[in-house]
Amino acid sequence: MSSGASVNALQRLVEQLKLEAGVERIKVSQAAAELQQYCMQNACKDALLVGVPAGSNPFREPRSCALF
């Protein structure tokens, strides 16, 4: 009984591994180049990377202090 159950589990595992092995892959050099390209293309919009003009980042604005 228990060996039957583990055979089933192993068969499912083999099927899953076959599925994963069948995935189409590209080369790391190409994948890395495209990741880099995405970074470069969007760098100017990235406020945490390049900063934004003073006053346009709501968190950097000084908050007014009201004293009663």
Contacts of 54 (CB under 8 A, 6+ apart): 60
* Residue 19 C-beta: closest distance to another protein, Å: 7
Is residue 57 within 8 A of residue 47, CB to CB? The reply is yes
* Residue 40 C-beta: closest distance to another protein, Å: 8
* Cβ closest to another protein, residue 7 vs residue 12: 12
* Cβ closest to another protein, residue 14 vs residue 39: 39
Distances (CA, A) of 21 to 11, 15, 16, 63: 15, 10, 9, 56
* Cβ closest to another protein, residue 7 vs residue 31: 31
**In the complex, which residues of this chain contact another protein (CB under 8 A)?**
16, 19-20, 23, 25-36, 38-43, 45-49, 52, 57-60
Q: What is the CA radius of gyration of the chain?
A: 27
